[in-house]
């Protein structure tokens, strides 16, 4: 350290003394330690959650965008107008508003940011840790539709992250995990710490290890990592293809309960992909029957996705039994029978020969004329009518 102190401020001199003292202390306490050290040399900064810094999916620009939003919220004690793309660019020194839009989409997909749609407008909620799926489905009513549509986003980075989130969701469902189970927050913190400190885990809150690697490989100049192909298994089911409809037996369209909102319907679509086509409609009928039972005094079903999970689990284990869905199936069968009967009547072909119709009509008219003539009601405009009747009006 330079010993010339002519124009050095007193606080810097004190800092130099602190650095030397720190180095001496480290040398005494940790004699075998080699390498560079670090001291914090400024006033206390705004604290940021460790998880946002260590999230394996987020890029630096995603983290900067999140931190900029946090600064904006803290400046107004928790509530503020959502910063514009231009404001985020200026504060975080990001060159492009398109990059900011990409970062916001990634943050929403990974559940660091939630879009809460309300009657009077949209409110973005910024979270200190990624929310569990159940919480996001409650707050962000369009989350699943956002993931579905974002697979065609103009940004390749967004597409890869979203596909990783959906692939992880499908993987958990295939493994029989209740993806909407509400764990105690402490469990979430514990799992997060384990995933961040254990390199083998390699999982963020929304993405599993393979999905994290895939997302990391999409970064510019990122080294490509090769993963072994998964072993084939007879119990493995195909991933959900969002462009392919989930149908019932013989390709018939499924009939969903009308009560299911957009998020639950999208998630139901993914649950049903893991059971056989002929098993899907009975599960939906049982769910519909459970909804209808509330009108007959049964307690309300608040966690419909957990109930659906239990039905799918019972179906896969061979323990499913149609109960509340029996009247639903009977009602639909009756409607289908009536529809086919009416359709048959409308579409019944008419093969009658027009010439036969004319002959039948003439025969009917002649018979009617003879009946009238026998009653004296012949047609006076017909000169032959009185002769044909065999009598006259004067008789």
Instruction: Please write the tens of the pLDDT for every residue from 227-253.
Output: 444 333 343 344 444 556 789 988 899
Q: What local confidence, expressed as pLDDT, does residue 340 receive?
A: 83
The span from the CA of 302 to the CA of 271, in Å, is: 18
126 phi and psi angles, rounded to 5 deg: -100, 135
User: Is residue 138 within 8 Å of residue 117, measured between CB atoms?
Assistant: no
Q: What local confidence, expressed as pLDDT, does residue 152 receive?
A: 94
- Say what angle helices 97-109 and 156-174 make with each other, to 10 degrees: 0
- C-alpha separations of 145 from 126, 269, 376, 386 in Å: 20, 12, 81, 84
Sole residue written with tokens 């005094």: 297
**Taking the CA of residue 219 as centre, how many other CA atoms within 13 Å lie in the half-sphere pointing to its CB?**
16
What tens digit of pLDDT does each residue of 257-288 get? 999 988 999 999 999 999 999 999 999 999 99
Q: What local confidence, expressed as pLDDT, does residue 59 receive?
A: 94
The span from the CA of 124 to the CA of 140, in Å, is: 9
Mean pLDDT over the full length of the chain:
77
Q: What local confidence, expressed as pLDDT, does residue 196 receive?
A: 45
Q: What local confidence, expressed as pLDDT, does residue 368 receive?
A: 79
Give the start-end residues of each E strand in the chain: 113-118, 121-126
> What is the 3-state composition of the chain as percent helix, strand, coil, each rounded to the nearest 5?
55, 5, 45
Summarize the confidence of residues 30-47 as an average pLDDT.
Answer: 61
The span from the CA of 280 to the CA of 312, in Å, is: 9
Q: What local confidence, expressed as pLDDT, does residue 365 receive?
A: 83
Q: What local confidence, expressed as pLDDT, does residue 36 receive?
A: 60
Residue 291 scores a pLDDT above 60: yes
Q: What local confidence, expressed as pLDDT, does residue 232 receive?
A: 35
What tens digit of pLDDT does each residue of 124-136 get? 888 888 988 988 8
Q: Which distant-in-sequence residues (6+ apart) come within 8 Å of 12 by Cβ?
A: none
The span from the CA of 211 to the CA of 148, in Å, is: 16
The span from the CA of 65 to the CA of 107, in Å, is: 9
Residue 159 scores a pLDDT above 70: yes
For 302-318, b where at least 16 C-beta lie within 10 A, e where not — what string?
eebbbebbebbbebbee
Q: What local confidence, expressed as pLDDT, does residue 271 receive?
A: 94
The span from the CA of 177 to the CA of 312, in Å, is: 11
DSSP string of 67-134, one letter each residue? HHHHHHHHHTTT--PPPPHHHHHHHHT-S-HHHHHHHHHHHHHTTSEEEEEETTEEEEEE-SSPPPHH
The better pLDDT of the pair 370, 216 is held by: 370
Angle, CA 358 vertex, CA 355 and CA 361 arms, to 5°: 150
- Kindly report the pTM of this predicted structure: 0.70
Summarize the confidence of residues 157-161 as an average pLDDT.
Answer: 94
The better pLDDT of the pair 126, 223 is held by: 126
User: Is residue 393 within 8 Å of residue 376, measured between CB atoms?
Assistant: yes
């Amino acid at each position: 350290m330079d010993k010339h102190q002519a124009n050095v401020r007193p606080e810097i001199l004190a800092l130099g003394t602190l650095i030397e003292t720190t180095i001496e202390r480290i040398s005494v306490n940790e004699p075998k330690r080699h390498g560079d050290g670090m001291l914090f040399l400024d006033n206390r900064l705004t604290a940021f959650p460790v998880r946002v810094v260590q999230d394996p999916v987020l890029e630096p620009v995603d983290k900067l965008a999140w931190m900029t939003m946090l600064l904006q919220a803290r400046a107004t004690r928790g509530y503020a107008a959502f910063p514009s793309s231009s404001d985020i660019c200026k504060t975080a020194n990001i060159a492009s508003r398109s990059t900011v839009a990409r970062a916001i989409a990634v943050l929403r997909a990974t559940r660091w940011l939630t879009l809460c749609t309300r009657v009077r407008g949209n409110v973005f909620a910024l979270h200190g840790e990624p929310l569990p799926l159940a919480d996001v489905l409650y707050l962000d009513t369009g989350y699943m539709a956002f993931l579905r549509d974002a697979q065609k986003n103009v940004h390749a980075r967004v597409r890869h992250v979203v596909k990783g989130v959906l692939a992880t969701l499908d993987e958990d469902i295939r493994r029989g995990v209740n993806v909407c189970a509400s764990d105690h927050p402490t469990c979430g913190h514990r799992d997060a710490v384990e995933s961040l400190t254990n390199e083998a885990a390699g999982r963020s809150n929304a993405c599993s290890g393979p999905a994290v690697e895939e997302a990391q490989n999409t970064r510019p100049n990122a080294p490509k990592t090769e993963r072994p192909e998964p072993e084939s298994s007879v119990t493995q089911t195909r991933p959900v293809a969002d462009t392919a409809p989930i149908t019932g037996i013989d390709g018939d369209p499924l009939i969903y309960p009308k009560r299911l909102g957009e998020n639950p319907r999208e998630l139901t679509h993914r649950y049903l992909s893991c059971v056989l086509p002929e098993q899907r409609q009975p599960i939906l009928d049982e769910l519909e029957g459970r909804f209808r039972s509330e009108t007959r005094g049964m307690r309300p079903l608040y966690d419909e996705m957990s109930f659906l999970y239990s039905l799918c689990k019972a179906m896969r284990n061979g323990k499913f039994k149609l109960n509340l869905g029996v009247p639903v199936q009977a009602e639909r069968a009756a409607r289908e029978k009536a529809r086919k009967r009416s359709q048959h009547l409308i579409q019944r072909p008419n093969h009658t020969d027009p010439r036969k119709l004319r002959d039948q009509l003439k025969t009917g008219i002649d018979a009617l004329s003879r009946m009238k003539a026998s009653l004296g009601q012949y047609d006076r405009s017909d000169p032959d009518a009185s002769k044909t009747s065999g009598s006259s009006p004067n008789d």
